[in-house]
């Protein structure tokens, strides 16, 4: 018994000592990490105890000592119609973002790679990349005031051209889920096609040379070389974005829809719901409960998708 104790103590002492020695030796480096770590702490760690509000009937007098109400806040949200609607819209929009952005940007990357003229490639790339530089508000204004405006919009002009009645866009919610998805693709296709174009550029030229010596057409080369070589990148990008499935694209959606309740049926996502609940209804308890639900499911998704990435390609895992 005694021998174990004596063997443990010096080890513990050594450990503490090692820590002090390390601090003494490298303290300037640790000091350099402090500002970033401090900001990280304040904005990402300090809010964590605040999750307790999810179980409280929050009021500004008692603040975090407000009375506890158990699972009532969760019951309130999950028995309301909002729970299904916002969860469905969030996942529906995010899934479509994922599928269509991947499809369109891989397609464009392959097409850009096929073009002979380097000048034309540069030209198309520059045009496609441009929307990425504009803020969500600018994009939102373009969508609501220029393209899908009720009176003068480009969309209604095209509809008129085909001899149909103009649509009062601000009052029909049906198309807006798709308009948001289209806007996202329009904004990010140029950006993400650059990623895939970089991966295509990394493919060994010998593969193509060998294939064309064997008489493979360009289309066969794309199918049997380019696409299989891109698959790992596509899989990893997909898995990484699954972690964010329950995080609504607040900036784009809120700048397009705003507080137009007529469009909520197809556009209200968890994040826009949370925003309204905080800023307009000051409904803190249930909002914290929604946030906790979002974080816990998000945690499971990130963990699950990361485990899959790890199994697939260890180097690409997030952690």
In the window 1-20, what residues touch another protein (CB under 8 A)?
Answer: none
With tokens 């820590």, the residue in question is 19
Three-point CA angle 186, 189, 190, nearest 5°: 110
200 neighbors 110 (Cβ within 8 angstroms): yes
229 binds another protein (CB under 8 A): no
Q: Which of 186, 203, 208, 234 binds another protein (CB under 8 A)?
A: 186
Q: For residues 100-119, which are near another protein according to CB under 8 A?
A: 108, 111-112, 114-116
Closest CB to another protein among 177 and 285? Answer: 285
177 binds another protein (CB under 8 A): no
The CA–CA distances, whole Å, from 53 to 230, 269, 287 equal 45, 22, 9
231 binds another protein (CB under 8 A): no
- Rounded to the nearest angstrom, the gap between the alpha carbon of residue 235 and the centroid of all alpha carbons in its chain is 16
Rounded least distance, CB 90 to another protein, Å: 14
152 binds another protein (CB under 8 A): yes
The CA–CA distances, whole Å, from 16 to 13, 21, 144 equal 5, 9, 62
Closest CB to another protein among 6 and 135? Answer: 135
130 binds another protein (CB under 8 A): yes
Rounded least distance, CB 48 to another protein, Å: 5
Closest CB to another protein among 93 and 112? Answer: 112
Rounded least distance, CB 9 to another protein, Å: 22
Q: Which of 1, 7, 15, 44 binds another protein (CB under 8 A)?
A: 44
Burial annotation 76-101 (CB, 10 A radius, 16+ → b, else e): bbbeeebbebbbebbeebbebbbeeb
Query: Which 3 state secondary structure label does DSSP give 162?
Result: coil
Q: Which of 102, 170, 241, 316 binds another protein (CB under 8 A)?
A: 316
Size of the site for another protein (CB under 8 A): 97
Closest CB to another protein among 172 and 198? Answer: 198
Runs of H (alpha helix) within the chain: 2-40, 72-79, 81-114, 118-129, 136-141, 154-161, 176-201, 205-213, 218-221, 227-242, 250-257, 264-267, 270-279, 284-312
Q: How far apart are CA 149 and CA 142, in angstroms?
A: 9
Closest CB to another protein among 93 and 288? Answer: 288
Q: Select from 6-14, 80-88, 95-103, 187-195 the region that touches another protein (CB under 8 A).
A: 187-195
């Amino acid at each position: 018994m005694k021998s174990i104790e004596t063997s443990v103590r010096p080890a513990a002492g050594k450990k503490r000592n090692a820590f002090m020695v390390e601090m003494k030796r490298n303290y300037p480096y640790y000091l350099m990490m402090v500002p970033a770590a401090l900001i990280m702490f304040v904005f990402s760690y300090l809010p964590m105890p605040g999750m307790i509000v999810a179980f409280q009937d929050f009021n500004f007098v008692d603040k975090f000592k407000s009375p506890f109400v158990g699972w009532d806040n969760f019951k309130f949200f999950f028995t309301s119609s909002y729970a299904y609607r916002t969860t469905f819209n969030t996942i529906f929009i995010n899934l479509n973002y994922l599928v269509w952005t991947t499809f369109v940007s891989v397609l464009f990357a392959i097409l850009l790679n096929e073009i002979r003229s380097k000048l034309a490639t540069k030209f198309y790339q520059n045009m496609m990349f441009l929307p990425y530089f504009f803020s969500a508000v600018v994009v939102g204004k373009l969508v609501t005031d220029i393209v899908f405006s009720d009176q003068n919009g480009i969309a209604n002009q095209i509809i008129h051209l085909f001899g149909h009645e103009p649509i009062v866009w601000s009052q029909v919610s049906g198309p807006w889920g798709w308009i948001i998805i289209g806007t996202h693709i329009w904004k990010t296709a140029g950006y993400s096609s650059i990623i895939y174009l970089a991966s295509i550029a990394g493919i060994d030229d010998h593969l193509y040379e060998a294939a064309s010596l064997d008489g493979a057409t360009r289309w066969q080369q794309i199918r049997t070389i380019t696409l299989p070589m891109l698959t790992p990148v596509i899989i990893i990008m997909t898995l990484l974005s699954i972690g964010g499935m329950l995080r609504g694209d607040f900036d784009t959606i809120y700048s397009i829809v705003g507080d137009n309740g007529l469009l909520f049926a197809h556009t209200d996502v968890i994040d826009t719901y949370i925003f309204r609940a905080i800023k307009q209804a000051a409904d803190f308890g249930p909002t914290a409960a929604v946030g906790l639900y979002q974080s816990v499911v998000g945690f499971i998704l990130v963990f699950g998708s990361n485990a899959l990435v790890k199994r697939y390609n260890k180097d690409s895992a997030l952690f």
